[in-house]
Amino acid sequence: MPFDLGRFDDYIDAYQIMDAWRASHAFPLNTIQMTLRHRAKAVDPQSEIVQRLKRAPSVIAKLVRYQDMQLSRMQDLGGSRAIVNSVDSARLIREKYRKSRDRHDLATEKDYIETPQASGYRGIHLIYRYQSDRAHNYNGHRIEVQLRTRVQHAWATAVEIAGIYVRTPLKSSIGPAEWLEYFRYVSSAFSIFEDTPRLHADLSKQQVAERIFALDRKLEARKKLRNFSAAHNYIAQNKRKSDSHFILILDLKQQRTSIESFSSISNASLRYAELEKTHMNDELTDVVLVAAENVESVTAAYPNYFADTRQFLELVDRVVPGTGNE
């Protein structure tokens, strides 16, 4: 029997079921993250590795957007990401996975570097079904492994930050057409920079640059991203070297991000559940729980939560000469 989310009791029941199922991914996620960390660091010692459980609003939005989607089939409830310096590094890590004798089943592999999404998104996604003789209760849980270069991550971050600015989920290809077009052309320019397949393959490098320049002038895209970033502040609370779990609280009204840090996943999860319920219907507050080596890794891997567009803007200046001039 489907839940009627218009009824409060059914809403609470649905939330609790979703939360319990999502929480059950924490153990397999951590196991797969440790493998990713080992492989990524072996290839690129400077790589950043983070993990997170999908936020409740994102889970609900995905279920609403894809009417035939079932919670048990969602592939990215738990995800771990490696951010590396080059395309070669991303591909080498992928090869390590292909040649490994992992017990976990590779359910899906999507190479969006070789074939960029229509939105311009690029990266490599590996979806694993967790398998274990000892922790068999988690068998079959899907965990996503993402591999991105710093260039690809800068693009994805800027899309998320611009989405905050225009108050629409640009990363889901929803929003003003000219903003979506701007990021598609920037993706093409970044693909040229990284010497990988791209959108707009029929256009020359100069033509792509001209389209970006024209859209940037019309939207004032760089100016808006830079101003939004400059106005944003963040506060780190109770930061300790031993902490490895962090809650990020993005307050759009105050243009501020707060970080709460924990050494215990159980304490972090309890606090996260409390904050998530408090801000469930607050469109101006975003909460996420992540695991990382330290707070510096968090700010590097999740610059969207800190409105940090510096790397994106520097890259645009490099690939599209002239856009940096006001």
| 168 vs 117, higher pLDDT | 117
pTM for this model (two decimals): 0.81
Q: Are residues 100 and 228 located together in one domain of the fold?
A: yes
Instruction: Summarize pLDDT for 8-26 with one digit per residue, the tens.
Output: 454 455 667 677 777 778 8
pLDDT grade, residue 227 (50/70/90)? confident
Q: Are residues 69 and 138 located together in one domain of the fold?
A: yes
Q: Are residues 34 and 162 located together in one domain of the fold?
A: yes
Q: Are residues 256 and 216 located together in one domain of the fold?
A: no
Q: Residue 326 domain-assigned? A: no
pLDDT average, residue stretch 137-150: 90
Order across the sheet with 48-53: list the strands. 105-111, 124-129, 142-149, 78-84, 48-53, 285-291, 245-251, 256-262, 233-237
Task: State the Cα–Cα distance between residues 105 and 127, nearest whole angstrom.
Answer: 9
pLDDT average, residue stretch 302-320: 87
Instruction: Summarize pLDDT for 236-289 with one digit per residue, the tens.
Output: 665 676 788 889 888 877 878 888 988 888 888 889 888 988 887 787 888 888
Distance of CA 244 to the CA centre of its chain: 18
Q: Are residues 282 and 192 located together in one domain of the fold?
A: no
Q: Are residues 98 and 131 located together in one domain of the fold?
A: yes
Task: State the Cα–Cα distance between residues 186 and 315, nearest whole angstrom.
Answer: 10
Count CA atoms within 13 Å of residue 106 on its CB side: 15
pLDDT at 65: 62
Find out whether 319 and 192 touch, Cβ atoms under 8 Å.
yes
Residue 147's domain is classified under what CATH number? 3.30.460.10
Per cent of the chain over pLDDT 70 is 84
Domain that holds residue 299: 233-306
Q: Residue 2 domain-assigned? A: no
**Tally of domains within the chain:** 2
